[in-house]
A and B are shown apart, each in its own frame.
Chain A
Amino acid sequence: MHSAGGTPAVEAVGLVKRYGGTAAVDGLDLTVRTGTVTAVLGPNGAGKTTTIECCEGYRVPDAGRLRVLGLDPATQAATLRPRIGVMLQEGGIYPGIRALEMLRHVAGLHAHPLDVPELAERLGLDSCGRTPYRRLSGGQRQRLALALAVVGRPELVFLDEPTAGLDPQARHATWDLIRELRADGVTTVLTTHFMDEAEELADEVAIVDAGRVIAHGSPAELSRGGSADVLRFSGRPGLDLASLRAALPAGSQAEEPSPGNYRITGDVGPRLLATVTAWCAQHGVLADRISTRRHTLEDVFLELTGKELRS
């Protein structure tokens, strides 16, 4: 299903979009391969939604080159729109319309839509099908917006924070649907604040900050970058760190940040753990509270984008 060559589903080069004097998107490069799931991560105000809205044809970029399914969204929107599915951050649904009525309506705007009752059941919308939108819960609204994005059997779907505010069940139902989309050859671009979501679903992750992509790769590739993993343990204070370092594999570090608390960085795996406990046994040390912590996408994300709060 993954076409290696061919036209990318999305290709942005040097994309710029300014609001007033500020550049919300500032020289962004992004390539989305056909048939993959790409997660766009970034702090609030990083330019994720603006980028997606340029792809959807809502915003006209000020500079750069943008092609979606080989088309220019700014000038070829009429050709592009039937081929894409869109889930906005805010519903975009008539307050007085019933859930199934809206789904049926959008299905009717497409030539070969999905079966509406089946899709509604998949996303748990059948029980609230006759409820007006304004009386739906947050989770039901999200699921309806997701259903609207996929009902027209698009080639490419844009999901802006698809699981924000969902309970775990609905979150997993959404993930299952996205996996099915990929299995059937649909390309998905989603934005999210949940690192586990990106790790779980995405073939490619693009981390965006200040309007640019600052890191790009598979979740595993990104997690391997940045600072190393950590093993911690407690023991009696003042252990011989030089001897410990000598026992460890190359590239590892050992230190005692506070008396009796030891911290070892490096490639934390079964071998390192065995080495440390063997060294402790040799030196008559009962290692207490041993913990290992492998580097996660979240660590990479925070390292790259900093910890201060954003707007």
Chain B
Amino acid sequence: MTGRHTPRPGAAPLPRMIAAQAALETRMMLRHGEQLLLTVVIPTLLLVLFSTVDLVDVDGERVDFLTPGVLALAVLSTAFTGQAIATGFERRYGVLKRLGASPLPRWALLCGKTAAVLVTLALQTVLLTAAALALGWSPHGNPLSVVVLLLLGTAACSGLGLLMAGTLRAEATLAAANLVFVLLLFFGGVVVPLDEFPDGARAVLGLTPLAALSDGLRDVLRDGAAMPWGDAGVLAVWAVLALAAAGRFFRWE
């Protein structure tokens, strides 16, 4: 008998568990090469390329049009695409199941994921803002409105990402999440203004979370609007519906 294993079970204090999970999820997210391509490299390249090369017609300065859209795209890439793919594979590899047998409650696991998304987004925002300022961006409006819109967009994208990850096969999630990213990149008002599309298409596209977020951010940052309630409302509805559906249909195994 060594006494080494003499039972002394117990969960760590909850705040410590959540902090550990958040730190782990953040490290994993920032370490993941493909994920960084999606969350950092693509938005930055788009910003630089489309600001400096005259590829699409926009009103006013190109960088003033592009930056809000690229910030919205950053939200989509991290909260939706990246999170959906990572979570889908964690589910497939039994990571969620394994952690389900640990003292960590499931809601605390999701808190960890959300914290990782928020940390990554903060880093993306700093990086993209710096790049945009270097390209001559002059932002307007109330920063608080910007933060509210970004958080609503994050909630909507997270809900949709987790709904996808928790219901589809990992491979299907991988394909679908990337497809949605590419489609919304072109049809979500990021690089091509929604005005370029026919009226009917524009009305429908305007209701997608990415278009609502990029449009709302543009209203504030380019046009100095106080708070674009219409876009905020669209995002809030997406957030509530998607998070409720994810809560209802998410399968842990």
Beta-carbon nearest neighbor of B11 in chain A: A82
Judge whether A108 and B16 touch: CB under 8 Å: yes
Beta-carbon nearest neighbor of A97 in chain B: B28
Contact bitstring B131-169, A, C-beta under 8 A = 1, else 0: 000000000000000000000000000000000000000
How far is it, in angstroms, between the C-alpha of A106 and the C-alpha of B106 when the chains are bound?
14
Main SS class of interface, B: loop
Whether a CB of chain A sits under 8 angstroms from the CB of B248 is no
Q: Which of A1, A96, A148 has the most CB of B within 10 A?
A: A96
Judge whether B2 and A183 touch: CB under 8 Å: yes
Judge whether A184 and B5 touch: CB under 8 Å: yes
Interface size on B, residues (CB 8 A): 36
Whether a CB of chain B sits under 8 angstroms from the CB of A16 is no
Judge whether B24 and A92 touch: CB under 8 Å: no
Judge whether A111 and B5 touch: CB under 8 Å: no
Q: Which of B1, B4, B13, B89 has the most CB of A within 10 A?
A: B4
How far is it, in angstroms, between the C-alpha of A82 and the C-alpha of B3 when the chains are bound?
19
A74 CB to nearest chain B CB (Å) = 14
Judge whether B5 and A93 touch: CB under 8 Å: no
Q: Which of B50-58, B59-67, B91-99 contacts A (4 or more CB under 8 A)?
A: B91-99
Main SS class of interface, A: loop
**List of B residues within 8 angstroms of A110 by Cβ:** 9-12, 103
Whether a CB of chain B sits under 8 angstroms from the CB of A139 is no
Judge whether A78 and B97 touch: CB under 8 Å: no
Judge whether A150 and B5 touch: CB under 8 Å: yes
Task: For chain A, residues 30 to 88, give those with C-beta under 8 angstroms from any C-beta of chain B.
Answer: 56-58, 78, 81-84, 86, 88
Judge whether A57 and B101 touch: CB under 8 Å: yes
Do A82 and B10 form a contact, CB below 8 Å, given A96-B31, A109-B104?
Answer: yes
Chain A: interface size category: 35 or more
A96 CB to nearest chain B CB (Å) = 6
Judge whether A92 and B98 touch: CB under 8 Å: yes
How far is it, in angstroms, between the C-alpha of A108 and the C-alpha of B13 when the chains are bound?
10
Of A92, A150, A183, A184, the contact of B97 (CB 8 Å cutoff): A92
Of B5, B12, B24, the contact of A186 (CB 8 Å cutoff): B5
* Count of inter-chain pairs, beta carbons less than 8 A: 117
How far is it, in angstroms, between the C-alpha of A101 and the C-alpha of B26 when the chains are bound?
13
A180 CB to nearest chain B CB (Å) = 6
A111 CB to nearest chain B CB (Å) = 3
A62 CB to nearest chain B CB (Å) = 18
Whether a CB of chain A sits under 8 angstroms from the CB of B17 is yes
B250 CB to nearest chain A CB (Å) = 15
Whether a CB of chain B sits under 8 angstroms from the CB of A293 is no
Whether a CB of chain A sits under 8 angstroms from the CB of B20 is yes
**List of A residues within 8 angstroms of B105 by Cβ:** 78
Of A82, A96, A184, the contact of B2 (CB 8 Å cutoff): A184
**List of A residues within 8 angstroms of B11 by Cβ:** 81-82, 109-111
Task: For chain A, residues 97 to 120, give those with C-beta under 8 angstroms from any C-beta of chain B.
Answer: 97, 101, 105-106, 108-112, 114
**List of A residues within 8 angstroms of B31 by Cβ:** 96
Residue contacts A-B, CB under 8 angstroms, 23 given: A58-B253, A81-B101, A81-B103, A82-B9, A83-B7, A86-B101, A88-B101, A94-B28, A96-B28, A101-B24, A105-B20, A105-B24, A108-B12, A109-B102, A109-B103, A111-B8, A111-B9, A111-B10, A114-B5, A150-B5, A153-B8, A153-B9, A186-B6
Interface residues of A (CB under 8 A from B): 1, 56-58, 78, 81-84, 86, 88, 90-97, 101, 105-106, 108-112, 114, 148, 150, 152-155, 180-181, 183-186
Known: A58-B100, A95-B93, A111-B12; 12 extra A-B contacts, CB below 8 A, are: A78-B105, A88-B101, A90-B93, A96-B28, A96-B31, A109-B104, A110-B10, A152-B9, A153-B8, A154-B7, A180-B5, A184-B6
